[in-house]
Structure 1
Amino acid sequence: MSGGAAAVEKGVIETLTAAGVATVYEAAGRCGLIDVDLVQVVPGTRVAGPARTVRCGQDDNRAVHEAMTLVRPGEVLVLTMPEPAPVALLGELLATQAKVAGAIGVLIDAAVRDVDELRELGLPIWARWRRVRGATKRERGSLDVPVRVGGATVEPADIVVLDADGAVVVARNSAADVAAATKTRIDKETGLRARLDAGEFSYDLHGLRTQDESGG
């Protein structure tokens, strides 16, 4: 596990994966949102896993090449730079290495290229941009360090959840509690969905009509 952290239980990760970004974000008390627009390179994908963090030199992806030697099955690679920029930190050849190593996804706070090939490869990838502008390989960068993405801090081995809505990060030490809250929220929403299917209105179920009529 990245950073030598204790592993989060498989069941916890499965719960967060199944729930998806929006539900996990709400269940976590609206914390951990990675608040940027992201390109979902492979439509229909959804993943959650411990972060393998990479802080590259500016406009440089040498650290990404090194990170591929450390990736462990089930991890989400999180690739960053000091300042986000539309420079491709990852393309088909690096993504192939990540998939072979067992990475389940990649979050890139920069650009990605070779999109057609990446879709064929099938590794779930989210990026800020699609650009062909290439990176240099001059700066070693840093691996397994805290990184900032979209206003959120991602520590090594924190759980990153990604789907069509974007991304959210759950602190490793609170993942079990968030998973439990997520299950509770899903149960509540299942009950609400049944009542909505029966013709009731959220305006009433949330008590909003009563508040409005009482001047609240």
Structure 2
Amino acid sequence: MKPILQVALDEVELARAVNIAREAVAGGADYLEAGTPLIKSEGMNAVRTLKEDFGDHVVVADMKIMDTGAIEAEMAIKSGAGVVTILGACDDSTIQDAVRSAGRYGGKLMVDLINVPDPVARARRVQELGANIVCVHVGIDQQMVGKDPLDILKEVRKAASIQIAVAGGLNADSAATAVALGADIVIVGGNITHAKDVTGSARRVRQSIDAAGKQYIVQEKKSLDEETRELFMQVTTPNISDAMHRAPAMRDVKPLYEGIKIAGRAVTVQNFPGDWAKPVEAIDLAQKGDIIVIYNGSNYVAPWGELASRSCQQRGVAGVVIDGAIRDIDDIKKIKFPAFASASVPNASEPKGMGEINADITCGGLTVRPGDWIIGDDCGVMVVSAEHAYEIARRALEVKKTEDRQRTEIERGKTLAQVVDLHKWEKK
């Protein structure tokens, strides 16, 4: 049986959702999901509108029912939904009531296993209760910390003979893997809806899942550091700031030249003005891909120059960030070593050996600990704690995807205020 592609319209403006749905259908989408944010924003009118505009396609109402199963299922199906979602975490009686209601009005019930402690046992139970579809789902916030729905899909497939849907950050590759592992319905959201070319993105997923049974290759997973670095290199420091709730960048620390992009873990140096011993010794301690971060305490004498930069290049150190002065900027530009500083001067001091390596420091007004992630580009330098780096990198990528979609709408003639429906969402 041909796998089903369900596109999740997790928008808050109905007009945008309809436009995206139109493009997704052109790329091969089968089911159109009125996402929970859309339903909360627009109510059942979102379901009605999607059904009116796309009558040949199944509309999924992502109600995430937790109580009053019968009335909420009835409400969605009467509005045009072919499938209604209910949370697997709710009581058995709520699921049973929703099953009866869905059947009475000609719809299907999908049980969402998001946040269920034992998804395999729950899948088996909801099948006994009469559910039509069970959904293996890792939510957006869970995706941000590295949880993967494919890790449990295989076991749920063994436990349930009803249709299985899978959702949680899927793209063309992981959607194909999901089908190969037994998914009947693949649910894709942002990797289609936030793409610049929605139709092209949907088509790639469509082609990928249709060919999944013919060529299934399990790809080796990257290390967490490798994946984190790749994610940070795809986004900008403004994306990261937004993902961190408008967090500030380092104050007054700027790139030495345009076009720099760095992302790596910090090797910190607490320095005394111009003393270049500890900054240079830090090069020997740094690993490939690390970034040396220095608090120099002066904009008038430099602890770093071209020779230190060349030494870093030889060892694969990704860059240097200095709260203070740097020198030899003409030569550093020539060798294109990524450097950020708050000032440039020609003079250095002597290597006295004062200071400390890999201590907590303050750089550009921000605390930097050894191992924290440093991301720098033309806009400035951001610091992300080691504990939350992967999550922030994922959230920053979601910010970028949203902006990519908004950029496309602006290029098609809308103003920014129209794109974000500014007047509607102004605080009253």
- Alignment TM class, shorter chain as reference: 0.7 to 0.9
Partner of 2:268 in structure 1?
53
CA deviations on 1:69-106 (whole Å, 9 max, x unpaired) are 2121101110113x333211111111111111111111
TM-aligned CA deviation for residue 59 of structure 1: 3.2
What is the SS of the residue equivalent to 2:408? helix
Counterpart pick for 1:73 among 275, 288, 296: 288
Q: Secondary structure in 1 aligned to 2:284?
A: coil
Distance 1:57 1:115 in 2: 21
Q: Which has the larger radius of gyration?
A: 2
Supply the RMSD in Å over aligned alpha carbons. Answer: 1.9
Match of 1:190 in 2: 404
Quick one: distance in 1 between partners of 2:305 and 2:248? Answer: 27
Report the counterpart of residue 13 of structure 1 in structure 2.
Answer: 229
Amino acid at match of 1:33: A
Name the stretch that deviates more: 18-27 or 202-211.
202-211
The CA deviation at 1:211 is: 6.0
Letter in 2 for 1:73: K
Q: Which has the higher helix share?
A: 2
State how 1:51-130 maps to structure 2 within 5 Å: 51-81=266-296, 83-130=297-344
Q: Is the 8 A contact 1:59 1:85 kept in 2?
A: no
**Residues 1:23 and 2:239 aligned together:** yes
CA contact (8 A) 1:86 1:128 kept: no
Tell me, yes or no, if structure 1 residue 148 matches structure 2 residue 333.
no
In 2, Cα distance between the equivalents of 1:179 and 1:211? 27
Counterpart in the other structure of 2:174: none
Which of 126, 131, 136 is residue 345 of structure 2 equivalent to? 131
Amino acid at match of 1:89: P
Q: Quick check: 1:89–1:134 contact (8 Å CA) kept in 2? A: yes
Paired residues, number: 206
User: Structure 2: 5+ residue runs without aligned partners?
Assistant: 1-222
SS in 2 for 1:135: coil
Conserved 8 A contact 2:268-2:360: yes
Match of 1:4 in 2: none
What runs of 5+ residues in structure 1 fail to find an aligned partner?
1-6
Whichever residue aligns with residue 60 of structure 1, its letter is: D
Specify whether residues 208 and 28 from structure 1 end up closer, same or farther in structure 2 by C-alpha distance, changes over 3 A only. same
Listed as ranges, the matches of 1:172-191 within 5 Å are 172-191=386-405
Task: Give the superposition deviation at 1:31.
Answer: 2.5
Q: Which one has more relative contact order, counting CA pairs under 8 Å at least 6 apart?
A: 1
What secondary structure sits across from 1:69 in the alignment?
helix
Amino acid corresponding to residue 117 of structure 1 in structure 2: D
CA shift, 1:8, in A, is: 4.8
Is 1:161 the equivalent of 2:408? Answer: no
| Separation in 2, partners of 1:28, 1:118 | 32
Q: Supply the AA of the counterpart residue of 1:18.
A: Q
Query: Which residue identity is paired with 1:62?
Result: A
Are the equivalent residues in 2 in contact too, given 1:159–1:171 (CA < 8 A)? Answer: yes
Read off the aligned partner of 2:262 and give its amino acid letter.
V
Structure 1 residue 127: Cα displacement: 0.9
Calculate percent identity across the aligned residue pairs: 23
